[in-house]
Amino acid sequence: MLQEQNHPVTKSDLYLSLLTVFCNSLVMLFGAFLWKNNWIVLDTDPSAISVFLETIALILLMDLLMYFFHYAAHLPFVYKLLHGRHHEHVSTNFLSLFVLHPFETIGFGFMILALLLSYDFSIISISLYLLINLIWGTIGHLNREFFPASFDQFFVGTTRFHNQHHLDGSKNFGFYTSIWDRLFGTYRS
C-alpha cells in the first residue's frame, strides 16, 4: 500500500461514479451518432502493425491532451468548481477514478472524439485503447503499486507517480506517462 489506508467509499462517491458511467455512455452514444453520420470513419481492414501504432498514438496523444486538460483542472476557479471533489481522495480507492464532475467526464470523452474525427482509427485500436485506459486508470487509483520502482525511468505513469499527484496537486498531471510532466517541469519522482 502506498498510503496507510484506502479512502473510504461513501454513498456520494458511489452516486458520482454511476453518474460518470452515465456520462461516458452519453459520449459513446454521441460518438456512435457521429459514426453513423460519417463524421467518424473507422478503418475496417487494419494490419497488425497499424493497430499497434494507432494504439500507441492514441495513448500518447490522449496522454498529452489529458495532461493539458488535467493541468487546467487545477487552475483555482476550475479546481474549486469541478476537480476538487476528485482530490478529496488523497488516499485513493477502487472508485476514485470515477469520482469526477460530469463536465470532466464529458471533457475527457470529447478529447477522444476529437481524435477520432481527425483520423480513421480502427475499431480494434480504439477498443484496445479504451481497455488500456480503464485498466490504467483503475490501477493508478488502487493505492497499491503494481510496477517495480525501475519503471519510473521508462516514463511510465505508475500508481506511485499518480499518488504523488494526489499528495501534491501541482505535480504529475500525466496519466499514462510522465513524459509531459518531465517536459513541462511538473514532474515529481
97-126 per-position pLDDT tens digit: 788 889 999 999 999 999 999 999 999 999
**Domain range summary for the chain, segments of one domain joined by +:** 11-27+45-148
**In whole angstroms, how far apart are CA 161 and each of 75, 107, 173, 188?**
20, 23, 9, 8
Residue 23 has pLDDT above 70, yes or no: yes
Which triple of cell numbers denotes residue 13?
Answer: 462517491
Q: Would you call 37 helix, strand, or coil by DSSP?
A: coil
For a pLDDT cut of 70, what percent of the chain falls above it?
92
Distance of alpha carbon 152 from alpha carbon 24, whole angstroms? 30
Distance of alpha carbon 155 from alpha carbon 177, whole angstroms? 5
Q: What's the whole-model pTM score?
A: 0.87
138-176 per-position pLDDT tens digit: 887 776 777 777 777 777 777 777 777 877 878 889 888
Distance of alpha carbon 81 from alpha carbon 60, whole angstroms? 28
Residue 83 has pLDDT above 80, yes or no: yes
